[in-house]
Amino acid sequence: MKTQPVQAGFERWAVFEKIRTANRMHHREVGQALERVLTAGFEQPPRILDIGCGDARDIAAILKRVSAGDYIGIDNSAAALDGARANLTGCPCPWRLIQGDYAEALAAVVPPFDLLWLGLFLHHLDSRQKRDLFEQAAELLGPTGRVLAHDPVLLENEDRDGFIERIQRFSSTWPELAAEEREMLARHWSQHGCQERLSRLNAMAFHAGFSEMEILWRDPAEFYALLAFRRLKPSV
Ligand SMILES: C[S@@+](CC[C@H](N)C(=O)[O-])C[C@H]1O[C@@H](n2cnc3c(N)ncnc32)[C@H](O)[C@@H]1O
């Protein structure tokens, strides 16, 4: 099935906010895992690049508690970046926001980074764009750098239609949504996004020069995963 790329996120931001507040996309657990990586995963305070940062609320809260070299957030939504600016105010590390399509914005950043953070961003890209992004990531990261990605993923024996049917069934009982909001969400999922199987993401990253994908966290219903991809050490 051919899907439309997500251009402007959810049709109604309020619905995204409701399911985010109910932790349906598991920002809470993922934020905790991200904080553990940022606290203990690097020898030096890491340089962080966040593509599709949105309002950066979770990472901004983390950056007020852990040391970072600097933080750059990229998003094509001016409204999201207004929120990010407010949330990042008071962070002790240097930070900067770039508005625009990520592919163009990447030309304005100076590598190397230690962490490329992709929070619910990868499924906005088609498969070709994801492969290209992994290639770019390998160039943007230093030798011990890594990509962390929180994203909805397909089961290995599932295609996208199966995933959409499964998540629509799962979300049909969410009490925080009114009936018409559930319909909007179902429409959003069926029209937008390009979710992948874990094996395919692993293959794309491996092809770009990353080591075996690590699954840092998975929700019990297996809709979302937090994945880590490390740069392969250059051979000597
Ligand atoms: C689902 S939101 C995720 C926000 C946040 N990272 C999180 O985890 O909650 C995806 C974000 O990606 C941004 N986005 C989508 N396509 C983009 C593109 N081509 N270039 C830059 N940002 C994009 C959207 O504006 C949106 O803020």
User: Ligand 1 centre from 162 Cα, in Å?
Assistant: 24
Nearest to 158 by CA among 236, 221, 90, 217: 221
Most confident of 3-17, 100-114, 174-188: 100-114
Higher pLDDT, 2 or 31: 31
Q: Report yes or no: 91 and 64 within 8 Å, Cβ to Cβ.
A: yes
Q: State the SS3 of 200-235.
A: HHHHHHHHCCECCCEEEEECCCCCEEEEEEEECCCC
List all residues whose CB is within 6 A of at least one atom of ligand 1. 6, 9, 52-54, 74-77, 80, 101-102, 119-121, 124
Fold of 28-155+198-230: Rossmann fold (3.40.50)
Q: What is the pLDDT of residue 72?
A: 98
User: Ligand 1 centre from 62 Cα, in Å?
Assistant: 19
Confidence of residue 2 (pLDDT cuts 50, 70, 90): very low
Q: What is the pLDDT of residue 31?
A: 98
Give 84-128 as a DSSP string. HHHHHTT-SS-EEEEES-HHHHGGG--S-EEEEEEES-GGGS-HH
Distance CA(185)–CA(19), nearest Å, equals: 10
pTM of the model: 0.93
Nearest CA residue ID for atom 18, ligand 1: 101
User: Ligand 1 centre from 20 Cα, in Å?
Assistant: 14
Q: What is the pLDDT of residue 234?
A: 53
> Average pLDDT in the 102-114 region?
96
User: Ligand 1 centre from 191 Cα, in Å?
Assistant: 16
